[in-house]
């Protein structure tokens, strides 16, 4: 019996353990988007022309993480702010999802990016429940 074959299941188990957290993050970003953003920007990220801008193929969305985070922390025009309902980690997750979905290909946004933007803007910390939607 080849002992290397016996090691294979162990390798698979180790691999599954290291992949699982990354998958969970993607799922969270998608769930957060569905609950908090899709009503306006649509699940396709294409928005509704004349009312809600498309996030798919949007250069601003794929630009500086702090600029994009500012829109969520302060709101803008007809866009509500999510500073109270989403914490820094959740804003990072939903923006990372938006920046890497529907053909977008920008780098992830980190919790630290959002935290430093929140501090710079003087916006109070979130007082939310997980996956909360205040709207």
Structural contact between residues 32 and 97, judged by C-beta atoms closer than 8 angstroms: yes
Rounded Cα gap, residues 79 and 89, in angstroms: 20
Q: What angle do CA 98, 36, 79 make, to 5 degrees?
A: 85
How far is Cα of residue 104 from the mean position of the Cα atoms in its chain? Answer: 13
Write down the least CB distance from residue 120 to ligand HEC, Å. 18
Write down the least CB distance from residue 107 to ligand HEC, Å. 15
Instruction: Name which of 55 and 126 has its Cβ closer to ligand HEC.
Output: 55
Write down the least CB distance from residue 58 to ligand HEC, Å. 5
Instruction: Name which of 71 and 123 has its Cβ closer to ligand HEC.
Output: 71
Binding residues for ligand HEC (CB under 6 A): 36-37, 39-41, 52-53, 55, 58, 60-61, 68, 71-72, 76-80, 82, 94, 98, 135
How far is Cα of residue 81 from the mean position of the Cα atoms in its chain? Answer: 15
């Amino acid at each position: 019996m080849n002992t290397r074959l016996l090691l294979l299941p162990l390798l698979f188990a180790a691999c599954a353990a290291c992949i699982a957290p990354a998958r969970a993050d993607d799922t969270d970003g998608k769930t957060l988007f569905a609950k908090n953003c899709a009503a306006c920007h649509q699940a396709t990220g294409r928005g509704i022309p004349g009312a809600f801008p498309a996030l798919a193929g949007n250069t601003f969305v794929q630009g500086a993480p702090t600029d994009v985070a500012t829109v969520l922390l302060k709101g803008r025009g007809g866009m509500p702010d999510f500073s109270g309902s989403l914490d820094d980690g959740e804003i990072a997750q939903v923006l990372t999802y938006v920046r890497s979905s529907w053909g977008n290909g920008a780098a992830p946004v980190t919790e630290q990016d959002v935290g430093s933007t929140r501090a710079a803007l003087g916006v109070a910390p979130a007082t939310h429940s997980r996956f909360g939607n205040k709207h």
